[in-house]
Amino acid sequence: MPARLPLRAAASRRAATEPYVCASCLVGSTIATGAATFRPARLRHTSARAKHIAPTRSSLSPRRRLTAHDATTNCNTSNRRFIAHGSLASATAINAPSTVPSDYRDLHAQLQILQDKASGYVDLSRLQLALRSLESDTPTIRVALLGLGSNGALAARKLARVLLSDPLADEENWEKELLETSGDGRSLLLRFGDAEDAVQHDPTIQTVHIPSPFLRRNNVEILVTTLNANGKSASQAEHYELQDAILVPPLTIPTSAGGRVGFVRYPVHMALIVAEGIIGAIEYGGFPDAVINGSLINSALSIPLQSSTRTKSPEQTATGNAVDIDLATHALKIFRASKANGAQFSNEWQTSRVSAISEWIASHSNTTEGNFNAAVKDMVDNVLSRTSRSIDRAESEEASSVAQASVQDSKRTETLTAISRWSADAHRDLQVNLYTSFLSPTWRRTVWWRLLWRIDDVSLSASDILRLSWLNEAEQSVAYLSGRISEAGLATPNELKEVGIVEPLLNEDMKAGMERYEDQKAKIETVAELLQTPTLLSRVHQQSGVNPLFDPPWPQTIHLSRQQMLHRLVPAFHAKAQALLLGTLSTIGGTTALSIWLYIATSGVALYEAGAITSLGVVWSLRRLQKLWSDERDGFESTVKEDGRRVLAEVEGHLEKIAKEGGRAEIRPEDAQNWLDARSAVERCREALANIRL
């Protein structure tokens, strides 16, 4: 929305001669009149210093002394001045009107969604400026003149003077003050307005209203400040940071009386880097070509240029952005001195190449009927591109941090090699030690003929073999291997202790009791509960053989499998021996009883027949005991060997899974969803921008 024109000085003087009018009535009537012609706008109050400025000469513009007649009409003129200041509010200010043209509503709404979805990746200050620019068909374009180097601030002010001055008018006071106040270090905002309007003094920026035809014609406001940025950057990220520093220049503000200063970011649509002299050229030479793209960011190097009638200097032919501000100032001076110097003025003005700067600003700021402003379009497109790159950079940095937090592949390879070596040694241990143990005297005590008088040796011998010869070395080695895995960061002790295919050793009641006990570990137990703890632990040990207090930080699959065989396989093996022995003795006893009955029944005649029956029963039962018990022993041996291989395969698979999948940091799902939502918002903004006619 174009800024409302201020009241002229002549109109103010005529208003001063009119009768007294109430201030409230004056404000109400003025607003009602303006509403019929212009769109409604919020009146922006000036600062307290601007409201109560003393009736003396100001720092940048003259103020006439108040007369007695002026004193009588002070209320009237004060209200007029207040309305003029309020109407000069920039269309890109924070409190700009909220009406959005119908052609821009979709893009405006999508940018607001982008502000919510990608607030951590988008430049909020530039986004706010873009939103305000979309609230009018003819937005005010803010252009920054950034002085580079020690003489850059003065060069930027000199360039602003020659751009905004009217050659057909005499030198105005604001032109003199613009150069005289260049040493205060404050930034300057030049807006179109009446020169008699009060200067707005602000700790951040000094706003001056200038009756410049250039500002009015192109609907532009000029920000004059300095650029404190090092252009010597190599990485792409540093290029983007430098571009942000140019398009959102930080303004220095005092924060305390002790000399401390702060910074306020002030976004602009376009920026022009201004350097002067050889030193400025050297500093400008450090800027990469990717930063100064010509659409949003341009440059002007002020160096002396020869007249167009003479041979061009090497400086002029070396760079295409060279201007001669001093030559343009001289041309302006001689033309104002005498209009007869028009030819010389035109020659020097064209040679200075300042007109190229004005054409660059005008080409981006002018808005034709029904078309989208090119500066706003380029700015929105740049904001979306920067947001996309910020999202990609955040995702890349997160992926890099995740990769750094994860265990290196070299360590995984070393761990997998160690696991394979341990598996080979464990299988060799199982084969050699079990083969040796099953040939040892301990196992020979379980032969069939020893069952008749030493059947208790069955459980003792089987238990000794399992405790002393079943994967003992493999269990010790897996403890050291687990330490290496834990040291490499592949797994925690709790992950290493996970039990795989081993069947539970406790029944449901005992398991529920142990779970209740584990839940109460962190609680303060009573005396009664403490007295019940040993009983519970003893019951667990009696039922499963597992010590509940033994909790080593390595896989317990081998240990639990051994305990499972000791408390299930060995008792079943011993029970089978007892059953076979009982069957053998029963057969022998039955045949013996039959022989005795036959001997008695025949009165001793069938003595040989009775002895034959007894012998047959003894031989058949012992032969059956030998055969069945040998099968049981072979079955026990194969079960122990097969369980050993099964346990080793389980432990090896568990450790290999840890080595391959453990120690990997993962991207949080909410972060991935945020990136997806932000990218979707950017794409919708691009679609809305593409639908607007340029």
pLDDT in tens, 304-326: 886 545 545 544 444 568 888 98
- Do 419 and 339 lie in one domain? The reply is no
Dihedrals phi, psi of 491, to nearest 5 degrees:
-160, 160
> To which residue do tokens 């109109």 refer?
11
Average pLDDT over residues 582-601: 89
- In this structure, what is the dihedral angle of CA atoms 179, 180, 186, 187, given to the nearest 10 degrees? -20
Residue closest to 261 by CA, chosen among 206, 152, 181, 186: 186
Q: CB-hemisphere CA count at 13 Å for 597?
A: 6
| Same-domain check for residues 291 and 165 | yes
- 264 in helix, strand or coil? strand
Place of tokens 């988008």: 122
SS3 readout for 290-340? CCCCCCCEEEEEECCCCCCCCCCCHHHHHCCCEECHHHHHHHHHHHHHCHH
Highest-confidence segment of 190-204, 324-338, 533-547: 324-338
Is residue 134 situated within a structural domain?
no
Highest average pLDDT, of 40-44, 148-152, 632-636, comes from: 632-636
Is 552 within the bounds of a domain?
Answer: yes
Q: 11 and 70: one domain?
A: yes
Res. 148 pLDDT band, cuts 50 70 90: confident
pLDDT in tens, 669-684: 999 999 999 999 999 9
Question: 224 pLDDT band (50/70/90 cuts)?
Answer: very high
Query: Reduced to 3 states, what is the DSSP secondary structure of residue 143?
Result: strand
Count of Cβ atoms closer than 10 Å to residue 644 Cβ: 25
> Which pTM does this prediction carry?
0.65
User: pLDDT tier at 288 (50, 70, 90 boundaries)?
Assistant: confident
Place 124 in a pLDDT band, splitting at 50, 70 and 90: very high
Are 457 and 559 members of one domain? Answer: yes
Count of alpha carbons within 13 Å of 232, Cβ hemisphere only? 4
For residue 278, what are the domain limits?
A: 140-366
For residue 6, being part of any structural domain is answered with yes
Residues 33, 84 within the same domain: yes
- The proportion of the chain whose per-residue pLDDT surpasses 90, expressed as a percent, equals 30
Axis-axis angle for helices 374-405, 236-247 (nearest 10): 140
Tokens of 360: 């660059």
- For residue 42, how many other CB atoms are within 10 A of its CB? 12
Residue 615, in any domain of the structure: yes
345 occurs within a structural domain = yes
Same domain? For 255 and 351 the reply is yes
- DSSP-based three-state secondary structure for 479: helix
Stated as kind and residue range, the H or E segment containing 398 is helix 374-405
Predicted confidence (pLDDT) at residue 368 exceeds the cutoff of 50: yes
Name 312's Cβ contacts closer than 8 Å, sequence gap at least 6.
305, 306
More confident residue, 72 or 483: 483
Instruction: Please answer whether residues 194 and 9 qualify as being in contact, where contact means their C-beta atoms are separated by less than 8 angstroms.
Output: yes
What lies within 8 Å, CB to CB, of 254 at 6+ separation is 203, 260, 261, 262
Whole-number mean pLDDT of the chain? Answer: 76
> 78 Cβ partners below 8 Å, 6+ apart?
23
| Mean pLDDT of all residues in 351-368 | 85
Q: Which residue has the higher pLDDT, 613 or 603?
A: 613
Q: Which of these, 548, 556, 409, lies nearest to 478 by C-alpha position?
A: 556
Is residue 169 very low, low, confident or very high in pLDDT (cuts 50, 70, 90)? Answer: confident
Length of the chain: 694
Same domain, 341 and 428: no
Mean pLDDT value across residues 230-258:
72
Domain end marker among 89, 112, 132: 89
How does residue 62 score in pLDDT terms, banded at 50, 70 and 90?
A: very low
Checking if the pLDDT of 585 tops 70, the result is: yes
Do 354 and 431 lie in a common domain? no
What is the C-alpha to C-alpha distance for residues 556 and 651, in angstroms, rounded to an integer?
A: 9
d(CA 391, CA 403): 18
663: left (phi over 0), alpha (psi -120 to 50) or beta: left
Q: Which amino acid is at 348?
A: E
Check whether residue 187 and residue 311 sit in a common domain.
yes
Q: Is residue 98 part of a domain?
A: no
Asked if residue 356 lies in contact with residue 185, where contact means CB atoms within 8 angstroms, the answer is: no
Whether residue 289 is found in the same domain as residue 165: yes
Q: Is the pLDDT of residue 226 over 90?
A: no
- Are 260 and 359 in the same domain? yes
DSSP one-letter code for 587: H
End-to-end CA distance of the chain: 18
Q: How many domains does the chain have?
A: 3
Is residue 437 in some structural domain? yes
Q: Tokens for 437, please give them.
A: 């143990």
Most confident of the ranges 256-265, 490-499, 537-546: 490-499
C-alpha pair distances (Å), 82 with each of 20, 57, 641? 17, 19, 100
Do residues 82 and 220 both lie within one domain? no
Residue 657 lies in a domain: yes
